[in-house]
Chains A and B, each alone.
Chain A
Amino acid sequence: MEAPGQALLSVRDLHASFHTDAGVVKAVDGVSFDLRRGEVLAVVGESGSGKSVTAMSLLGLLPSPPARVSGQVLWKGRDLVGLAEPEMRKVRGAEIAMVFQDPMSSLNPLHTVGRQIAEVVRLHTTSSKRQAWERAIEMMDLVGIPQARRRAKSYPHEFSGGMRQRVMIAIALACDPDLLIADEPTTALDVTIQAQVLELLQETKERTSSAILLITHDLGIVAGMADEVLVMYAGKVVERGPARDVFYRSRHPYTLGLLAALPRVDDEAADNRLRPIEGTPPSLIHVPSGCSFHPRCSFRRLETCSVDEPPLAAHGGEAHRAACHFAEDVVSVAPADLQRSVPSAAAAAPGP
């Protein structure tokens, strides 16, 4: 166990790239963060910003080749990057567990759900077959699957999407992991089911002292849950800090854009349509010079932003950091103002 006060997980300057025929895809480019027990860290960003690759490189799950990972992933003080497979396997599923986006395809269609939960228990503990099966039923009960004992003998296709996601969470929690990585756990689900699954994750966090790394492209589901937020763009962290700061005192135009894209329930005057950020994320083979967000940014000043890459600098306290040359200008703008105050700049921004 980590020393008191020390982070459970310390990621330092993590890089992950894919060497493809088209060139080197820099999917994760110098990501650092800390995660302590009992904490929920949300990683947000548009699709393709490198969230999943970050999660996968933590557990050494990227196929190599083509993937190359460097940097440090300090887990309870031990570096997981370059750890031998047999050692890594003892961490996976036991200490760090993962929940994936698509519960339909992530479960093995040919095994009963009970078996799939028991399998991970058998693997990481000394339980007998019987004990593992009982544990599986207990876990299914815990994640709110009715008639667990009977349903344990069912196959994934006999479950609804929400129930399947509960099964995946049961698999993840079966060995009492210290860290749960949930990669878009609700994206494939209906809105009502989404809320239930998030609630389940919340309960888990409260019941255990584990930490949660919640990956999502939807800032809306982060609000109620996350302690810390990490905003990623084109493989880099562009803003991070306590959730309250990132939400209410955003210092990066991209974060502001993500917030403005949310349908706002409290703002009755404005229409509730989504306002996505103009433009598309850049190719990760040819990332724009300077600040990689500058082609889409309504705050940019070309002579600065297209030349100098802004560092992830602290603003208003050590914890809140943003990588923007004009962070102090950004903080005075509310997401709702974004479209009104600088519409012409956004519209005039050239495509990447």
Chain B
Amino acid sequence: MGGEPGRKALDAALEDAPGARGRAPRRRWPQALGSYALTLLALVTLNFLLPRAMPGDPIEALAAEGSGGFTFGEQSRQALEEYYGLDGSLLEQYGSYLGRLARGDLGRSIATLAPVRDEISRRLPWTILLVGGSLLLATGIGLLTGVHAGWRRDRPLDRTLLTVLLAVRELPTFLLGSLLLFLFAVKLEWLPLAGAQDTFGSFGPVGKVVDIGRHLLLPLVVLGLGLAVGTYLVMRAGMVTQLGSDHLLLGQAKGLGQRRLKYRYAARNALLPVVSLAALQLGFAITGDVLVERVFTYPGLGRLLFDSLTARDYPVIQGVFLVVSVTVVTVNALADGLYRRLDPRTVA
């Protein structure tokens, strides 16, 4: 899952996985901070340019949304552009965007006129719940299955897991999501069909949690399962590499038991490539989130992004991209730090 380019990246990462050790040597704090700031600036610039590179613009989209056949005259168009800050050269627009950003102002949605900050903060918790939850689920499932399957390579358990999980990976998110929805929400009516919570029901605090959980379950499983495959494959490959390693043999010759060899030696070493994959996994999670939120009509950032892309709502697109960029860069930095803690060889 996660689309074709994602697949390629994962495959590349898998190839590298066993040897994915030699990371960059430790940098000094200011230097690291500086490079993250630069990365962020580059991303902000991209976020600004990309929506504008798409065909069409917000005014056209606005017109298309309004009564059919309605077109703006040249004058009203100019007035609208001015109103939304879309007049002036690209460079001028970029300058004012950066200026507002520096003051913490994300602008207003062209479609709804609401402040972008409000639009985002309304939806962010749902996405954090969904993406964070699926990543946790995926990491749990992926590590557990990967460790066991790799350790008992080519035994029945390994073969079954490999077949099932690769099949899951081949299944498009959209199809899997719709199937589960049809089965559990339409046919069996065990789970709700859409949304993140029941707006009409009145629950106590416990009931509210249960209600949110019931809404979350299917999207969480669909997104999490797809992500778990990546973690599983990398962990399994790592374990398989570990199986033939000399240090495991020495451990065995020392008289260590299977459990210790499996977890303290093999799994601990095989974990490193998984950690270095964290940022990539987050990327998949976010792409997957957009699809999943659409299938399950989940009111998170993915939905917002999808809608704002359709409306060419530049400020909202930029805002969502900004949140995503900051998150990815932060997670990358955290994963880097974790890797350094886990692997003494990176601390020169």
Contact = CB atoms under 8 A, between A and B. Distances in A.
Nearest to A154: B344
B254 A107 contact: no
Contacts of B245: 105
Given A98-B250, A171-B250, A110 B256 contact: no
A97 to B, nearest CB: 7
Contacts of B343: 109-110
Interface in B243-270: 245-247, 249-257, 265, 268-269
A157 interface: yes
A123 interface: yes
B247 A92 contact: no
5 contacts: A100-B249, A106-B247, A108-B269, A120-B255, A123-B254
A267 B87 CA distance: 93
Interface residues of A, number: 27
A152 to B, nearest CB: 14
Contacts of B247: 105-109
B161 interface: no
Nearest to B245: A105
Nearest to B343: A110
Given A100-B249, A105-B247, A108-B265, A90 B344 contact: no
Interface of B: 245-247, 249-257, 265, 268-269, 342-345
Nearest to B269: A110
A112 B344 CA distance: 9
Contacts, number: 67
Interface string A18-59: 000000000000000000000000000000000000000001
Contact of B255 (A93, A112, A157): A93
B346 to A, nearest CB: 10
Given A105-B245, A157-B344, A92 B253 contact: yes
A110 B254 contact: no
Nearest to B345: A157
Interface in A93-115: 93-94, 97-98, 100, 102, 105-110, 112
Interface string A275-311: 0000000000000000000000000000000000000
Given A100-B249, A100-B250, A155-B344, A110 B268 contact: yes
Contact of A100 (B246, B255, B342, B344): B246
A119 B256 contact: yes
Interface in A50-107: 59, 61, 89-94, 97-98, 100, 102, 105-107
A168 interface: yes
Given A102-B246, A123-B256, A108 B251 contact: yes
A203 B256 CA distance: 27
Given A110-B342, A157-B345, A105 B257 contact: no
B255 A90 contact: yes
B251 A97 contact: no
A167 to B, nearest CB: 11
A93 B254 CA distance: 4
A105 B257 CA distance: 20
Contacts of A97: 253-254
Contacts of B255: 89-94, 120, 123-124
Contacts of B269: 108-110
A92 B345 contact: no
A98 B253 CA distance: 6
